[in-house]
A and B are shown apart, each in its own frame.
Chain A
Amino acid sequence: MKKLPVWNKLIYLLTMYNEDRNFDTDQILKEAFTSEPEFKLSENFTDLLVEKVERRFAWAQYIREFLIYLSVILGIMLVTAVLAFVWYDAKIENWLSFFTSNAALVVGINLLVVFVLFADRVLLRYFMYRASTE
């Protein structure tokens, strides 16, 4: 059998396709347009996706809670500072000189507190969640 190019093979196949009815291009096109393409997703696509979304949702939830805790702590600190100025005649210059002379200590303690809070409210909970779902 002589080897034909791809287009000739298509012509042959279309001839076979149409030999039992009148040639109707619109009908063929309609069939082709409404046929399902062959793209397929894996069978566990939904499971994997839901798992991923749940993890993201949990992470976002933990971050939100961490931010709420942080703002509450900052709020309490702010109220305390205001009270100190109003009731105890605290001087801003004294505070500024304390902060500047102990900058490393102040920044270090604050970072440590924020990290402990973040680890407790976000990281640990997230890893526990991951461990429970895997």
Chain B
Amino acid sequence: MNDAQLVQQVLNGNNHAFRFLVSKYQRLVTHVVGRIIQQEDELEDICQEVFIKVFKTLKRFRGDSKLSTWIATIAYNTAITHYRKLKRRGELSYSEEPNLILAEKDPGLNQKSIEKEEAKKYLMQLIESLPVNYRTVITLFHLEEFSYKEIEEITGMPEGTIKSYLSRARKLLKGKIEKVARLEQTNIFVDYV
């Protein structure tokens, strides 16, 4: 079933079609909303709100863009509104140095893979600590594989700004990682035995 048929089915009141639409785009909505809001307790409610908005406004979808782009736009706008609200109320917590995630949780993993997993988790948390616009464009471009044009449509940011955010985010993280690599060469782990 293509997107146009799916939309038509939902508009005809087919609940199974709506269920299918939710399952198909749940991942996208969760990633966009999650990366902006970063609060587990708010995530579910906002995702619900996004899909209810999708359902209510689906008749206005004309197929000029892909359905995924259209849904991502709704998800972005809803999440950013909530983000601003939370920010105004001072309810956003910002952590510069993420907490250590204990690796002992999964006894099935060997030591090396635990460490790789942990390092990866740290990097993920570094991404989470980037400014909201950086994490949003990273998610849309790298994770959801939208083009610059589509990201422009979703976020309303000009293409140049999107490219600049992507490059600055990459540079920022790269700087942190390379700093790590440099420190490694200076043998700072002498004490870590």
Q: Closest CB-CB distance, A27 to chain B, in whole Å? A: 11
Asked if A11 is at the interface of the complex by the 8 Å CB criterion, the answer is yes
Contacts of B100 in A (CB 8 A): 6, 9
Tell whether, in the assembled complex, residue A23 and residue B181 are in contact, meaning their CB atoms are under 8 Å apart: yes
Q: Known contacts being A29-B173, A35-B120, A41-B44, is A12 close to B192, with CB within 8 Å?
A: yes
Report the tally of A-B residue pairs with Cβ distances under 8 A.
129
Q: Please, how many angstroms separate the alpha-carbon atoms of A7 and B47 in the complex?
A: 34
Residues of B in contact (CB 8 Å), total 54
Question: Interface-forming stretch among A52-60, A68-76, A77-85, A103-111?
Answer: A52-60
A10-40 at interface with B (beta carbon < 8 Å): 10-18, 23, 25-26, 28-40
Asked if A4 is at the interface of the complex by the 8 Å CB criterion, the answer is yes
Interfacial residues, chain B to chain A (CB-CB below 8 A): 13, 15, 18-19, 22-23, 26, 30-31, 33-35, 40, 43-44, 47-48, 51-52, 55, 97-100, 112, 115-116, 118-120, 122-124, 126-128, 138-139, 142-143, 170, 173-174, 177-178, 180-181, 183-184, 188-189, 191-193
